[in-house]
């Protein structure tokens, strides 16, 4: 079993103290920062941050990280009016892969998944062309051909939304 690892993403109006507040919060909650990336967009005045961290100490030994960290981080988020999310880095999201005619990107995604380099669970592949159906079949992933035109675009978008619901893709 993998050790717990989480990714915190956030954005807010850029102002001093954001990085310090996030770092202090994580340290105060027995979390060790492994990676931190931030960017202040001077054109929009928005600040963006992504922090990868591991829980340590008592929090790593059984207590739910989400139960402890999420509610407490809300105070920091409120202080800076942040839009934020906490993700379990070990989770394998269920994904619906959308592809067009060319298969090189799909082939790369499926190969990375196969060798364990891409944490996901592909539940289906959908395309507006049938060309990649054999590649999907070679990985034992259901393929859905959803041809689209100006006349049926709305109907196809509804079919795609239904497929997402049916497969449980995120």
Q: Give me the pLDDT at residue 60, please.
A: 55
134 vs 152: CA distance, rounded Å: 25
72 vs 89: CA distance, rounded Å: 20
Per-residue pLDDT of the chain (170 residues; tens, 9 = 90+): 467 889 999 999 999 999 999 999 999 999 999 999 999 999 999 999 999 999 986 555 445 777 888 899 999 999 999 999 998 888 889 999 999 988 999 999 999 999 999 989 999 999 999 999 999 999 999 999 999 999 999 999 999 999 999 998 88
Q: Give me the pLDDT at residue 62, please.
A: 46
Q: Give me the pLDDT at residue 59, please.
A: 58
Q: Give me the pLDDT at residue 61, please.
A: 47
68 vs 32: CA distance, rounded Å: 15
Q: Give me the pLDDT at residue 49, please.
A: 98
124 vs 133: CA distance, rounded Å: 11
| Residue 77 contacts residue 84 (beta carbons within 8 Å) | yes
Q: Which phi-psi region, left, alpha or beta, contains residue 43 (left: φ > 0; alpha: ψ -120 to 50)?
A: alpha
Query: Could you give the maximum distance between any two Cα atoms of the chain, in Å?
Result: 59
């Amino acid at each position: 079993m993998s050790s717990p690892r989480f990714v915190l993403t956030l954005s807010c109006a850029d102002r001093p103290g954001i990085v310090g507040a996030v770092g202090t919060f994580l340290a105060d909650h027995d979390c060790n920062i492994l990676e931190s990336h931030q960017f202040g967009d001077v054109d929009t005045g928005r600040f963006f941050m992504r922090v990868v961290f591991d829980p340590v100490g008592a929090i790593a030994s059984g207590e739910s990280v989400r139960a402890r960290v999420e509610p407490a981080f809300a105070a920091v988020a409120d202080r800076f009016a942040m839009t934020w999310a906490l993700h379990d880095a070990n989770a394998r999201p269920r994904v619906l892969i959308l592809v067009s005619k060319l298969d090189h990107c799909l082939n790369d995604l499926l190969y990375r998944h196969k060798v364990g380099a891409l944490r996901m669970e592909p539940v289906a592949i959908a395309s507006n062309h049938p060309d990649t159906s054999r590649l999907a079949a070679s990985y034992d992933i259901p393929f859905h051909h959803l041809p689209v035109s100006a006349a049926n675009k709305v109907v196809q978008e509804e079919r795609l939304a239904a497929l997402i619901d049916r497969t449980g893709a995120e």
